[in-house]
Chains A and B, each alone.
Chain A
Amino acid sequence: MSAPGQAGRAGSLIVRNISKRFGGLVAVSDVSFTVAAGEIHALIGPNGAGKTTTFNMIAGAQPPDTGDVQLDGVSLAGLRPDQICRAGVGRTFQIVRPFNELTLVENVAVGALAWTDDLAEARDHARGVLELLGLGDKKEARPSSITLPDRKCLEVARALATKPKLLLLDEVMAGLRPTETDRMVAIFKKLNADTGLTILLIEHVMRAVMALSDRVLVLNYGRLIADGKPEEVTRDPEVLACYLGAEAFD
């Protein structure tokens, strides 16, 4: 199969002063960070810290009230989610959202149709991506007949099939067994190494965060409270106080 990510180092993300307010609640407040092309960054923080809202603003599902998001120096402001997807941002959903009446191949082929009009080519590409994620023997199954970890993989496969430059992963390791987590980590490392795919992941599984990330961003109450190397961030007293605690490191 051809590489799911696009060749060459692309997919740099600049997030500048984005905020999102829902009524009286400030979900994300003035958050800025950058992810260099080809790097893997993790976005961590307690529940309700604004991580998924940040993803939604990058992917266009919820346009930011203020600020700007740029992919490879081009602003994504005002673009719809499907346009942002075609611009090179693939995303997964925290609560999996498969197309239930479609087979796995068809689910993933929908993603591949973002760059081809040829359904046969899209299906071929989808089969390759499913193989890569270890779902090769379930290609003709439907999402309802596979396990939750497999459905998480399907979510990743559909996003990868769009040939993103930047992949947003929203808690794809949650609920996986450690061996499954390690397998997923290995897949992302390989994708990143082979294709230069830039990855931003929201994750609670610190095992995965530590194994994958070049940098770790920490959100708390909608504010970015830390941005640094994993070993620095995990020693940051403020981060420890609000989120990690000592027991996070097993």
Chain B
Amino acid sequence: MMSRIIESASPRALALLAIVTAVLIAAPSFVNNYVLSVLIIVLYFAYVGQAWNLMLGFAGQLSLGHALFVSLGAYTSAALFIKFGVSPVVGVFAAIAVAVVAGCLIGYLGFRFSIRGVYFALLTIAFAEFTGIIVDHISWLGASSGLFLPVKNLQSNDIVNLRGSPTMFYYVILTLTGLALALCSWLLNSKLGLYWQAIREDQEAAEASGVPLFRYKMIAVAISSGLTGVGGVWYAFYYNNLFPETMFKTSQSVEIILGSVVGGVGSLFGPVLGAFVLTPLGEALTAATEGMHVDGVKSFFWGLCVAAIVLFRPQGLWPWLYDLLGLGPKREGKKP
């Protein structure tokens, strides 16, 4: 189930990866604006899903509060840009710092005091929710009426200030997703990755084998929250408006993780595949249910689809697709 695709990459898998990459790079030149906007959302969820997956899928620590790190990254970079004219290229480092500090604080409390599993998840929810309430009362950050980035009609893309066309945002998030995948793949095939997986599989056995649990869990939460914070920077400059009552909510966190769950927790390409399935699914259902004029009918069918996937492919879609397409090397006992 757990994918170590690079290590066991077959020619077929590499070819598929190359084709998908090429299509995604060329996409803006042949898709219309609507499809491009969907692809942008897909890649955003692929990116933050991957960042989240690093914590649960790799290191076994469940976070249901990743909206916090998106929001902190978004608010930090947006506030620096609006109030002080700081370019997001610089602001992203402040965003990472804030997200990592928050992640490490939650991690420290959870891991030092052995708050595990669902209790740790509750801790992450609590931090996200109460940070939202705090931001809701900070008028400097727009409080409940929201924080808005100035929108200008530019002739050309301003990459330094992340002001420009959807195509620019598309390439930025595509690059981020590619970099996150490369980073995760490298981490997974390092000492760090093996230690994380050992912790995920059996914490006591890992500790008895010389794995310093606290340190390696902290590294996982730090990298995951930092990556997610970068996603928040992109989010702020793409959407141009931030509201505490939506940004910090658990529903946001769940949206981040659903792609990974559907695609396959712990696998490298699961979060990407999940995003490519769920977002278009939502769009298709919106289109299909448009004429029905029944409140919630789209959400109903969407939920039904997600439940069906989770029920019939509990390991996620990626391991199934991996076998279906014969992407793995033919080795006995070696699952993707």
Which positions in A face B, CB cutoff 8 Å? 59, 61, 80-83, 85-86, 91, 93, 97-103, 106, 109-111, 113-114, 117-119, 122, 138, 140-142, 145, 158-159, 161-162
Judged by a CB distance under 8 angstroms, whether B190 is at the interface is: yes
Return A9 CB to nearest CB of chain B, in Å.
Answer: 22
Q: How far is the CA of A158 from the CA of B210 in the complex (A)?
A: 10
**Given the complex, which residues of A lie within 8 Å of B266, measured CB to CB?**
101
Asked if B189 contacts A99 (CB within 8 A), the reply is no
Asked if B209 contacts A110 (CB within 8 A), the reply is yes
Interchain Cβ contacts within 8 Å, total number: 95
Which positions in B face A, CB cutoff 8 Å? 1-2, 189-191, 194-195, 197-198, 200-202, 204-213, 266, 331-335
Q: How far is the CA of A61 from the CA of B194 in the complex (A)?
A: 22
Give the residue of A86, A97, A110, A122 whose beta carbon is less than 8 angstroms from that of B204.
A97
Q: How far is the CA of A106 from the CA of B333 in the complex (A)?
A: 14
Give the residue of A101, A109, A140 whose beta carbon is less than 8 angstroms from that of B331.
A140
Please, which residue of chain B has its CB at the minimum distance from the CB of A161?
A: B209
Q: How far is the CA of A237 from the CA of B227 in the complex (A)?
A: 67
Which 10 pairs between the two chains have the least Cβ-Cβ distance? Answer: A114-B210, A99-B201, A97-B205, A85-B210, A141-B333, A81-B207, A110-B198, A111-B209, A101-B2, A82-B212
Asked if A82 contacts B333 (CB within 8 A), the reply is no
Asked if B1 contacts A101 (CB within 8 A), the reply is yes
Asked if A99 contacts B197 (CB within 8 A), the reply is yes
Return A220 CB to nearest CB of chain B, in Å.
Answer: 26
Asked if B212 contacts A101 (CB within 8 A), the reply is no
Q: How far is the CA of A59 from the CA of B208 in the complex (A)?
A: 8
A-B pairs with beta carbons under 8 Å apart, 24 shown:
A61-B204, A80-B207, A80-B212, A81-B207, A82-B209, A82-B212, A97-B205, A99-B197, A99-B206, A101-B266, A102-B194, A102-B201, A103-B334, A106-B194, A110-B195, A110-B198, A110-B210, A113-B191, A113-B194, A140-B331, A140-B333, A141-B333, A158-B205, A162-B210
Give the residue of B190, B198, B212 whose beta carbon is less than 8 angstroms from that of A99.
B198
Q: How far is the CA of A113 from the CA of B192 in the complex (A)?
A: 10
**Given the complex, which residues of B lie within 8 Å of A81, measured CB to CB?**
204, 207-208
Interface centre among A101, A109, A142 (most CB of B within 10 A): A101
Asked if B208 contacts A119 (CB within 8 A), the reply is no
Q: Known contacts A61-B204, A82-B211: does B331 contact A110 (CB below 8 Å)?
A: no
**Given the complex, which residues of A lie within 8 Å of B1, measured CB to CB?**
101
Please, which residue of chain B has its CB at the minimum distance from the CB of A117?
A: B191
**Given the complex, which residues of B lie within 8 Å of A138, measured CB to CB?**
333
Q: How far is the CA of A109 from the CA of B190 in the complex (A)?
A: 11
Q: How far is the CA of A158 from the CA of B200 in the complex (A)?
A: 17
Q: How far is the CA of A101 from the CA of B202 in the complex (A)?
A: 10
Give the residue of A59, A122, A142 whose beta carbon is less than 8 angstroms from that of B333.
A142
Asked if B194 contacts A82 (CB within 8 A), the reply is no
18 other contacts beyond A61-B208, A101-B2, with CB at 8 A cut-off? A82-B208, A82-B210, A82-B211, A82-B212, A82-B213, A86-B210, A97-B202, A97-B204, A98-B202, A99-B198, A101-B1, A102-B198, A110-B194, A110-B209, A111-B210, A141-B332, A158-B209, A161-B209
Q: How far is the CA of A103 from the CA of B1 in the complex (A)?
A: 12
**Given the complex, which residues of B lie within 8 Å of A158, measured CB to CB?**
205, 209
Asked if A99 contacts B202 (CB within 8 A), the reply is yes
Asked if A93 contacts B207 (CB within 8 A), the reply is no
Return A125 CB to nearest CB of chain B, in Å.
Answer: 13
**Given the complex, which residues of A lie within 8 Å of B334, measured CB to CB?**
103, 140
Return B198 CB to nearest CB of chain A, in Å.
Answer: 5
Interface centre among B198, B210, B213, B334 (most CB of A within 10 A): B210
Please, which residue of chain A has its CB at the minimum distance from the CB of B210?
A: A114
Please, which residue of chain A has its CB at the minimum distance from the CB of B213?
A: A82
Q: How far is the CA of A81 from the CA of B266 in the complex (A)?
A: 27
**Given the complex, which residues of B lie within 8 Å of A93, measured CB to CB?**
204-205, 208
Return B195 CB to nearest CB of chain A, in Å.
Answer: 7
Please, which residue of chain A has its CB at the minimum distance from the CB of B190?
A: A119
Return B335 CB to nearest CB of chain A, in Å.
Answer: 7
**Given the complex, which residues of A lie within 8 Å of B195, measured CB to CB?**
110, 113
**Given the complex, which residues of B lie within 8 Å of A91, measured CB to CB?**
208
**Given the complex, which residues of B lie within 8 Å of A97, measured CB to CB?**
202, 204-205
**Given the complex, which residues of A lie within 8 Å of B197, measured CB to CB?**
99, 101-102, 106
Please, which residue of chain B has its CB at the minimum distance from the CB of A99?
A: B201
Give the residue of B194, B202, B209, B331 whose beta carbon is less than 8 angstroms from that of A119.
B194
Q: How far is the CA of A119 from the CA of B186 in the complex (A)?
A: 12
Q: How far is the CA of A207 from the CA of B96 in the complex (A)?
A: 60
Q: Known contacts A102-B201, A110-B198: does B191 contact A85 (CB below 8 Å)?
A: no
